[in-house]
């Protein structure tokens, strides 16, 4: 391969790595924007913790657990290639990975993905989870569960052998985080005041919608790298198609959620619009490289509708998900995964069933492991802060800090 | 063409596409930062609407209206290549567009530009425009007016045949938005309290200057893609020259506006500094690839001075433009377009007259169409919210939301 | 060289230039986030001033002072290649700089670095420095001191001849800023209320931790370009290694600071976590291309520990550094520079001594020049605002503006 092509490929993959890293600011802004001021420092702390620890865990063992070098017939649940990272011979030349990137880029791009699963959970459990318990959960879930599931498909394991397709992680990233979020909010219970005496869900408004909106726009930007980089090279046709399908699905998801919520609630709801964009993005993620623009719009539109009804469903189930993470990441993650069997160049009944099997496998493994981890934490150290702490805010109790300590109104 | 060069070109164009997309966060932050808290959700909603709907409209018909395949002699006002997008044969190979990018990248890069025109209007009409009316205006203006004017030059239409030059859109993007902004604030009238009983303009301070400043820095970053991508390839000489002229003009515009406002108002005015940066950026946009660094500095300096006097002029005309959009985008857009005839490698009296003709053509078409659209909306559904709604805030009335609902001061 | 490779190299360097530019938003957010609301406009003004004026100064003379074309034996303190910038013959072809970038990209990338040194000082002197005096300091320090020291190594001067190594500027950028910050806070004195009657340092909490956290994440993103671009081409092996060492050091620095402060202060301190990330980043900057991932983690971990103790030390010395700039940029800058002699492919006792010499040379020149400039300003126009102004806030007194003028709490 010519040096220029190899270099251009690697440049694109490094840019995408940077964009996926930047998604962590998007998640942080979205989560603090949609929650109350008194828990802001706590959420920021969790997110910064997840990025740093997630990357270090991926360096210590996650990468080798996710890409253990499965061979045909090697169809177990997991395999481990050892601790630490060290570039293999030839890992820096165009001979590696068809010249799509170097081994170092490979590690870092995948490492930036790894932390995402825990971040999804972070939003769902916000405002009531104990910091210590959440940190333990993050370490185990990001360090072990995420890479094991990832290995099944992206590491060449049994789901890959089965023909399962998940381009950039509707299942492997978003559902993996979403299942844990679902289990976590079930075990945690709702925030005080979320459900009235009549049992009806009440909106607990967030404290900073500009940051929430910024978070979603930053996430959309990050998705240029999340999906665009999942081509694993800068192949002009594939990367540019993927950006088109990704952006069209995002736009369609937003508009669909806005219109659905306008009809359903007679309201121009900014939060629904924003979550609809995310729903469109998660929905297209599994098949962003397989769809035509028209199909991407349809998948995104349905993703946006799903988000509005998904959020209503979570409320009906008396579950409390402050940022809508389960609707966006889990339900749209499932929808996007199944859509690969319904639309685009791989659509067939067989493929649909294989996609369903992949969804089921992730569901089984993730709910089981998340339940075991979280239930154990609940029993051993406790998962939820005290009532006093919840009312007064986690920032003061867990951190001794106020996110806007000096903020004064109309001081002059 | 070697695959490496084609791939590197396309990588650059995709990066630029992402940067232009990110400008929408810059516009959002700038607009909410310079306006009052009570209208924040409304402005965010409008901006998110513009991005999503703008991109979808461009997919439905805008792209084909803007690049209809004009041929020599095909000198009409508009031509339409049909609905939807589908890559032409060879659109993904280096044979397309001299190998500068793929057809998908072409669509997406141009699509990200399309919404910008409406965003410019959004800032000018903030705090008093009816949401429904503005959405209708956006759909027509972004869906029809912007691509028709764009086709005259970038689509190979009659302005292109005339020799008109507009590298990245001082006229085709910024003035197109700016003319509509001017018509809109004329039809809307000023916000309550903007002009005192003595008829003098009063400052209505914005509620979040950190976000306004962040908005301008994000827009500057986005301009790396806006101008850098308008080379339509990664040609090393042209792209790097364009980034140099763009950044020098931005810096010079900021410094000039800061010093001008210091002399004129005896004040270190952050808002003027920021708008001066934008004025420099808009001014260099028409000829960023034609200017030497020295010429870029001169064009930027004058752009910064123009912004300060332009904002004063709008006030004198009893027009109310909360973010200075008309001074920045319209007046500097005109200045930048004319500067192509005065400075740089195309400067000549003939070129100056052609540039003037282009400015006049955009002025005529845009003011006319904007007036017809906005006047019709005004008569049919109304353009302005009620006095009660304006006083109490659009967030509560149009959205039933408060941007900082839970925000508490010094709570502990 | 093939055109594709040259183009891909230049694309990477332009992307890195954009990322380094974006760091200025990171610095702005970090500084305003960690300081009080009443000085927010002032800090934003200073930062915007630094970017614009820094770039213009670099265009006027800085670039030619930093890269004057030193020849062997040309071992003086400074040399000047003249005013203004004009691309040399061949500066736009692959013959220039081994095809790593064009001459225009070279200028702009270096220009984005130049302003950084002054930005570091800005944070340290926040909330009490006179705007006029600071602007004069910025002009001299960015326009003369920074490029002179830079020329010693990156311009091929005497430190380069000596064998001193500083990959991306632990000394040449961060310490150069850090030394001036140290001198400045010594000459300025502490903010009122920083030290109680008992002489003990008291925390003066910042007014916006979400923006502080966002600032650090943006700075981390920017470091992809700061270090990644310092390869001066898109060489796949080196650039991707540099991103890996940079990110691992950042993550390790954050975790180390979080744990150190947890042990030392029994607190989950978000600010320490954030400053630890920056400490890790500054520490790896001198040798990011020389280290293995394991060594990067060690260097980052120590950087994070150093930040916590460094901040305590500054307090003990009765110096007042509102954002921790001296600990992060100066002390970690020294540590990172020395680490080149202790770890990685250049480690040796000789190299360690040479690194020490470089640290000493920067220390001598920067403290001397910073002292002369700042002491002169202090005597001539004064360095510090009046007590009344400090108490009431610089925003109202220097700018006649309030950063959040319209902000209202729970208005409905």
Q: Convert the pLDDT of each residue in B213-246 to its tens digit.
A: 999 999 999 999 999 999 999 999 999 999 999 9
Q: Say what the pLDDT of residue C79 is.
A: 85
pLDDT-derived band at B291 (thresholds 50, 70, 90) equals very high
The reply to whether ipTM tops 0.95 is yes
Checking if the pLDDT of A72 tops 80, the result is: no
Q: How many CB pairs under 8 A join A and C?
A: 187
Q: Which residues pair with C129 in a beta bridge?
A: C384
Dihedral (Cα; C268, C274, C275, C280), 10-degree rounding: 110
Q: How many CB pairs under 8 A join B and C?
A: 189
Checking if the pLDDT of A32 tops 50, the result is: yes
Please state the φ and ψ torsions of residue B193, each to the nearest 5 degrees.
90, -5
Q: Say what the pLDDT of residue A312 is.
A: 97
pLDDT-derived band at B384 (thresholds 50, 70, 90) equals very high
Chain B nearest-CA distance from C225, in A, is 13
Q: Give, rounded to a whole angstrom, the gap between the first and last alpha carbons of chain C.
A: 66
In chain A, what percentage of residues exceed pLDDT 90? Answer: 89
Please indicate whether residue A412 or residue A324 has the higher confidence score (pLDDT).
A324
Checking if the pLDDT of C199 tops 90, the result is: no
Burial class of A200 by CB neighbour count within 10 A (0 to 12, 13 to 18, 19+): exposed
Contacts of residue A230, defined as CB under 8 A and 6 or more positions apart, other chains included, come to A167, A168, A169, A242, A288, A289
Q: Say what the pLDDT of residue C193 is.
A: 93
pLDDT-derived band at B78 (thresholds 50, 70, 90) equals confident
Q: Say what the pLDDT of residue A74 is.
A: 67
Q: Say what the pLDDT of residue B412 is.
A: 38
In chain A, what percentage of residues exceed pLDDT 70? Answer: 98
Looking from the CA of B374 toward its CB, the CA atoms found within 13 Å total: 28
pLDDT-derived band at B81 (thresholds 50, 70, 90) equals confident
pLDDT-derived band at C411 (thresholds 50, 70, 90) equals very low
Checking if the pLDDT of B183 tops 90, the result is: yes
Interchain contact A278–B (C-beta under 8 A): no
Read off the pLDDT of residues C41-52 as tens digits, 9 standing for 90 and up: 999 999 999 999
- The 8-class DSSP code of residue C165 comes to -
CB B289: neighbour CB atoms within 10 A? Answer: 24
Please indicate whether residue A77 or residue A218 has the higher confidence score (pLDDT).
A218
Checking if the pLDDT of C412 tops 60, the result is: no
| Region C174-194 average pLDDT | 97
Checking if the pLDDT of A154 tops 60, the result is: yes
Mean pLDDT of chain C, nearest integer? 95
What's B3-70+78-399's CATH class?
A: mainly alpha
Checking if the pLDDT of A409 tops 80, the result is: no
Q: What CATH number belongs to C3-67+83-399?
A: 1.10.3430.10
Q: Which of B344, B239, B254, B248 has its CA nearest to residue C57?
A: B248
Interchain contact C203–B (C-beta under 8 A): no
Q: Say what the pLDDT of residue C68 is.
A: 87
Contacts of residue A160, defined as CB under 8 A and 6 or more positions apart, other chains included, come to A70, A152, A153, A154
Q: Say what the pLDDT of residue A410 is.
A: 42
Q: Say what the pLDDT of residue C271 is.
A: 97
| Region A39-46 average pLDDT | 97
Contacts of residue C326, defined as CB under 8 A and 6 or more positions apart, other chains included, come to C124, C178, C181, C182, C185, C310, C314, C319
Read off the pLDDT of residues A361-401 as tens digits, 9 standing for 90 and up: 999 999 999 999 999 999 999 999 999 999 999 999 999 99
Question: Is the Cβ pair A8, C7 closer than 8 Å?
Answer: yes
Asked if residues C63 and C80 have their Cβ atoms less than 8 Å apart, the reply is no
| Region B112-140 average pLDDT | 93
| Region C188-212 average pLDDT | 94
| Region A34-38 average pLDDT | 95
User: For chain B, which chains pass the contact test of at least 3 CB pairs under 8 Å?
Assistant: A, C
Chain B nearest-CA distance from A59, in A, is 28
> Which strand (E) or helix (H) includes residue C20?
helix C3-33
Residue in B214, B254, B270 nearest the CB of C25? B214
pLDDT-derived band at A76 (thresholds 50, 70, 90) equals confident
Place of tokens 């030392």: C264
Q: Say what the pLDDT of residue C73 is.
A: 61
- Which residues 232-251 of B are in CB contact (within 8 Å) with C? 234-237, 239-241, 243-244, 247-248, 250-251
Looking from the CA of A360 toward its CB, the CA atoms found within 13 Å total: 6
pLDDT-derived band at B72 (thresholds 50, 70, 90) equals low
- The 8-class DSSP code of residue B88 comes to P
Nearest CA in chain B to C207: B410
User: For B144-269, where are the alpha helices, taking DSSP H only?
Assistant: 146-153, 158-162, 176-188, 209-228, 236-265
Mean pLDDT of chain B, nearest integer? 95
| Region C197-208 average pLDDT | 91
Please indicate whether residue A188 or residue B118 has the higher confidence score (pLDDT).
A188
In CATH, which superfamily holds the domain spanning A3-399? Ammonium transporter AmtB like domains (1.10.3430.10)
| Region A140-158 average pLDDT | 95
Q: Say what the pLDDT of residue B410 is.
A: 42
Q: Say what the pLDDT of residue B154 is.
A: 95
Interchain contact B396–C (C-beta under 8 A): yes
Checking if the pLDDT of A411 tops 60, the result is: no
- Which residues 20-39 of C are in CB contact (within 8 Å) with B? 21-22, 24-25, 28-29, 32
Checking if the pLDDT of C110 tops 90, the result is: yes
Burial class of C200 by CB neighbour count within 10 A (0 to 12, 13 to 18, 19+): exposed
Q: Say what the pLDDT of residue B408 is.
A: 63
Checking if the pLDDT of A297 tops 60, the result is: yes
Place of tokens 């508490």: B408
């Amino acid at each position: 391969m010519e040096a220029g092509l190899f270099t251009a490929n690697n440049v694109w993959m490094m840019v995408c790595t940077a964009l996926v890293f930047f998604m962590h600011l998007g998640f942080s802004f979205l989560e603090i924007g949609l929650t109350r001021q008194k828990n802001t420092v706590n959420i920021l702390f969790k997110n910064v913790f997840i990025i740093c620890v997630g990357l270090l865990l991926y360096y210590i063992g996650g990468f080798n657990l996710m890409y253990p070098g499965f061979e045909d017939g090697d169809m177990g649940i997991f395999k481990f290639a050892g601790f630490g990272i060290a570039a293999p011979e030839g890992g820096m030349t165009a001979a590696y990975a068809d010249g799509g990137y170097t081994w170092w880029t490979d590690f870092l791009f995948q490492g930036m993905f790894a932390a995402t699963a825990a971040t999804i959970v972070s939003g769902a459990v916000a405002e009531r989870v104990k910091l210590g318990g959440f940190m333990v959960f993050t370490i185990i879930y990001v360090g072990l569960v995420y890479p094991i599931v990832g290995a099944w498909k992206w590491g060449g394991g049994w789901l890959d052998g089965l023909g399962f397709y998940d381009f950039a992680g509707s299942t492997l990233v978003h559902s993996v985080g979403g299942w844990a979020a679902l289990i976590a909010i079930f075990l945690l219970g709702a925030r005080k005041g979320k459900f009235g005496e009549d049992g009806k869900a009440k909106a607990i408004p967030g404290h900073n919608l500009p940051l929430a909106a910024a978070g979603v726009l930053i996430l959309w930007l990050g998705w240029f790298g999340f999906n665009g980089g999942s081509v694993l090279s800068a192949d002009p046709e594939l990367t540019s198609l993927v950006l088109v399908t990704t952006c069209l699905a995002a736009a369609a998801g937003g508009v669909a959620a806005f219109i659905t919520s306008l009809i359903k609630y007679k309201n121009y709801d900014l939060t629904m619009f924003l979550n609809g964009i995310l729903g469109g993005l998660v929905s297209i993620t599994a098949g962003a490289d397989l769809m035509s623009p028209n199909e991407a719009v349809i998948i995104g539109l349905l993703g946006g509708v799903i988000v509005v009804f998904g959020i209503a469903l979570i409320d009906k189930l008396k579950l409390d998900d402050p940022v809508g993470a389960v609707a966006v990441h889990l339900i749209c993650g499932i929808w996007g995964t199944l859509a690969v069997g319904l639309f685009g160049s791989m659509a067939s009944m067989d493929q649909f069933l294989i996609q369903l099997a992949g969804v089921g496998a992730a569901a089984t493994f993730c709910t089981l492991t998340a339940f075991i981890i979280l239930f154990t934490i609940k029993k051993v150290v406790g998962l939820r802060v005290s009532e006093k702490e919840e009312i007064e805010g986690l920032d003061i109790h867990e951190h001794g800090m106020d996110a806007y300590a000096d903020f004064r109104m109309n001081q002059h």
